Structure formats: C-alpha cells, structure tokens
Amino acid sequence: MSDRDVAWRYRPWSELTTGELYRIMTLRQRVFVVEQSCPYLDADGKDDRAHHLWCDDAAGQACVAYLRVFAPGVVYAEASLGRIVTAPEVRRSGLGRPLVREGLARIAAAHGAVPVRIGAQKYLEPFYAGLGFVRASDDYLEDGIPHLEMVRA
C-alpha cells in the first residue's frame, strides 16, 4: 500500500460509525493484546476525548493503520498522539511514517505549532526520533512493556 493511495479518515468519537469503531478496535486488540501477548484493558476511557485517524485496506474490510489525536491538556499538557499502530501485513511498507505525519498535521491544523508528547514503546524510539521526537523521560514499564515519553517541539 503506497502512502499516495491512502484515504485517511478522521473523526471525533461522536461521529464514528459502529463499523468503523469495530474495525479500529479489532486492529488495536489484534496488535496490542494478542500479538504483543499483553492482556490489558484497551478501552481506557479516553477514546471519547480523541479524534481518530485511520485508513482501511483496499477492500474496506479492515483497519490497517490507526492513531488517536488528543488536544493539549487532555492526556498531557501538550497535544498528543496515542495507540499508534499498523497491521502486521502492512508493516515495513512505509505506512507508519505517513500515519504519524498525518496525525501531526491534524494537530497543527487544529492547534497551531504546539509541542506533541507521546508514550512510545522503547524499541520504537529510533522510528519516532526520525519524525522529530526526542526522549523526555526515563524508561518505564507499562503493561510489562518498556516505554518512554517523547516530545516533538
């Protein structure tokens, strides 16, 4: 899937259809719970305060890339991105960078040039550094997985 072929969808919680929400939650649980063998409550009570950015596969049957966008002051003092995920079948296709860039563009369009904070899995630190994020915390465990906070000015 080329990033030129991506049809990004972006909606607040209140405008998600049940089908869209089902595809989004399926991807999140497939990766964060099943693939990463991490039993945790994905429905964390924050989805209703987020805008949701995603794209589906060519057939429109499955969500293949997704993230949540939060305004400043919702999760952190800064704006933030969360639940950043791509489906295993599209990894290494180059879709992750356009996903994060699109999320950053949505924040900039809504809030201007504001800092953005993320809680990243440690192994993805180089990926996010390549998108302008810098380490902003010591490592910590979240659901048994090493994480760190990163900020993009």
Domain 3-152 classification at class level: alpha beta
- Between CA 117 and CA 32 the distance in angstroms is 20
Please state the rounded mean pLDDT for residues 55-69: 96
| 32-54 tens-digit pLDDT | 999 999 888 999 999 999 999 99
pTM of the model: 0.94
**Site of tokens 């794209």:** 55
Of the pLDDT bands very low, low, confident and very high (cuts 50, 70, 90), residue 4 is low
pLDDT per position as a tens digit, 12-31: 999 999 999 999 999 999 99
Question: In DSSP terms, which residues pair with 83 in a beta bridge?
Answer: none
State the alpha helices, DSSP H only, in 37-94. none
Query: For 103-144, how does the pLDDT look when each residue is reduced to its tens digit (9 = 90+)?
Result: 999 999 999 999 999 999 999 999 999 999 999 999 999 988
**Of 123, 125, 127, which Cα lies nearest the Cα of 150?**
125
User: For 97-102, what is the mean pLDDT?
Assistant: 97
Domain extents in the chain: 3-152
Tokens of 31: 């990766």
